[in-house]
Amino acid sequence: MTKVQKATNTPADKPADRLLVIACGMLAREILAVKEELGLDHLDLTCLPAEFHFYPDRIAPAMDKAISEAKARGYRDIFVGYADCGTGGMLDAVIEKHGVERMAGPHCFAFYQGMEAYRKVADDDMMSFYMTDFLCRQFDAFFMKPLGLDKHPELIADYFGNYEKLIYLAQTDDPELDKVAEDAAKLLGLTYERRPTGYGDLVGGLARAAGSVA
């Protein structure tokens, strides 16, 4: 069963007066940070499981259900906190069905960098393994244990042998996360690069969605 983090409203407001963002769990901390930074008090957040990062075929049906349930609760303004994220257009079909919008781009690694900047580096980054703040925090839970690398490090070559570089797209300046990314690059035998991106296009995307409701 899909677990969804439910949105909460302030007592004085009704769902019809608010914006609901239904997002990837990998973006929860960042969306809340942008909400606070921009003072988007009328924004509520609901997240689908972060593990869908590994199962993109689950995103569209789960989003379809989440949007339908949100509308039943009274939300009229809904924004999808996903890019395409490997759904091959399936998510866009759901978005069109419900008449909502999503973050532009193929994945969060693109919109964190900003779509214009990403287009310039996409070809050069083809053999690069991206990490974000979330993936640094969850490196063991998302990679080491599920892939069995904690017990069988010899599998690293099988999983990461085609990569040449690890690129850490840093949303914040956190020495502990920097160290995780650097250590991961060494463990995986990849050249290391750190790109400070901040929240990229996520800021503008949320601001535009919230502005249409305010």
pLDDT for the residue numbered 16: 86
pLDDT for the residue numbered 111: 98
Tell me what the mean pLDDT of segment 40-44 comes to. 96
Query: What is this structure's pTM?
Result: 0.90
For residue 56 the two structure tokens come to 């993109």
Query: Considering just the CA atoms, what is the radius of gyration of the chain in Å?
Result: 18
pLDDT for the residue numbered 2: 43
pLDDT for the residue numbered 3: 47
pLDDT at 162 exceeding the cut of 70: yes
Residue 5 pLDDT level (bands cut at 50, 70, 90): low
pLDDT at 61 exceeding the cut of 50: yes
End-to-end CA distance of the chain: 34
Q: Which helix (H) or strand (E) holds 128?
A: strand 128-131
pLDDT at 6 exceeding the cut of 90: no
Phi, psi of 130 (to 5 degrees): -85, 145
Which one has a higher pLDDT value, 202 or 9? 202
Q: Is the dihedral of CA 74, 212, 23, 38 positive or negative?
A: negative
pLDDT in tens, 65-108: 999 999 999 999 999 999 999 999 999 999 999 999 999 999 99
pLDDT for the residue numbered 211: 87
pLDDT at 110 exceeding the cut of 80: yes
pLDDT for the residue numbered 13: 66
pLDDT for the residue numbered 14: 83
Helices and strands in the chain: count of H runs, count of E runs? 10, 7
Q: How do the domains of the chain map onto residue ranges?
A: 15-108+200-211, 115-196
pLDDT in tens, 175-211: 999 999 999 999 999 999 999 999 999 999 999 999 8
pLDDT at 10 exceeding the cut of 90: no
pLDDT at 165 exceeding the cut of 60: yes
The CATH topology of domain 15-108+200-211 is Rossmann fold (3.40.50)
CB 209 within 8 A of CB 101: yes
Which one has a higher pLDDT value, 146 or 78? 78
Q: Which helix (H) or strand (E) holds 196?
A: strand 191-196
Q: Which helix (H) or strand (E) holds 139?
A: helix 139-139
